[in-house]
Amino acid sequence: MRDDTTLGPWIRRFLLEHLVHERNFARNTQRSYRDTLALLVPFLGGDAHTPVDRLMILDVTADRVRQFLRYIEETRRCATATRNQRLAALHALARFVGERSPEHLEWAGQIRSIPFKKCGQTPVTYLEKSEMDALLASPDQDTSQGRRDHAILLFLYNTGARADEAAQITVADLQLGHVPGSGYAAVKIRGKGNKVRHCPLWPQTATELNALVAGRTDTARVFLNRRGQPVTRFGIHALVERHIHKVRTHMPSLTAKRVSPHSIRHTTATHLLRAGVDINTIRAWLGHVSLTTTNIYAEVDLEMKARALALCQVVEAGPSKRWREDKGLMAFLHAL
């Protein structure tokens, strides 16, 4: 007989059945929900003085969840956005339990009634063209590692791919010859929710990738680390941070910017927008589901705002003439 009162079996079903088989969430989303519960369970066990494998569903009270959220913010010093992300996972768990166990409907309602905390929108960080050029020039292309680093940075800028998306690219995903019916190379990118999009590649990007994958099988990853193993998203983060640190020594404008692979994604979108690419094309380029997400780039780009302001700038008129000084008018009147 299935136990519907113990927390552990519900967590297992939620993570393995619901997230994977029913919702088919992206792997990173699954990890995020798992990490939330991995933080919550020991917290509840300590608060209730109960071994974690004996925790009951009703031990997850609304008050304890609120205490857990305060712990996230105050003790772990996480941002409000992270606190809300953890709460979203708990809302999903409560909904999952409530839909399958009517006796826990009241409990599920109490958990789901805990509100998200309002937080300000984090400003989007992007690089100006000169800063991006300096970052691309940072790797030493006389070495194999430098050539690989340059290829990764160029690929991120060309495609606007997320770090995890770039790490998952295989040789079979590349079309480095001309795509049939077109004059460019392209890459197939698998984004969030396993949604696939195709992105054109610059000739320089295609040339560097072609040299990078020479002799590899179709199933091999494109980007490898120094040990010949597939690079991870954390490896790509470390690569970007390493070269940004190097560039900062001679480009002070980067000192105040916290740059990550996602900043390069923002840079791609901003530069496309400045080049006159319409916002819907940029949405498809980045793999956004909603155009609302893409619209943030129109909000943050000061250069485009300044150009728009110049178009409607008020031109100050010169001093107006007194009517007595208007000889044309006086001559007209005397001629009547």
Q: Which of 86, 148, 283, 288 is catalytic?
A: 288
Q: Is 321 a catalytic residue?
A: no
Q: Is 100 a catalytic residue?
A: no
Q: Which of 64, 197, 262, 274 is catalytic?
A: 262
d(CA 163, CA 235): 9
Q: Which of 23, 192, 198, 246 is catalytic?
A: 192
Q: Which of 162, 221, 243, 266 is catalytic?
A: 162
CB contact burial 280-312 (16+ within 10 A = b; e otherwise):
eebbebbbbeeeeebebbeebbeeeeeeeeeee
Q: Is 327 a catalytic residue?
A: no
Q: Is 288 a catalytic residue?
A: yes
- Which pairs from 168-172 meet CB under 8 Å and 24+ separation? 168/221, 169/221, 169/222, 169/223, 170/218, 170/219, 170/220, 170/221, 170/222, 171/213, 171/216, 171/217, 171/218, 171/219, 171/220, 171/221, 171/222, 172/218, 172/219
Q: Is 262 a catalytic residue?
A: yes
Q: Is 31 a catalytic residue?
A: no
Contacts of 172 (CB under 8 A, 6+ apart): 218, 219
Please report, as a single letter, which amino acid is at residue 216.
R
Q: Which of 190, 221, 243, 265 is catalytic?
A: 265
Any idea which residues carry the catalytic annotation?
162, 192, 262, 265, 288, 297
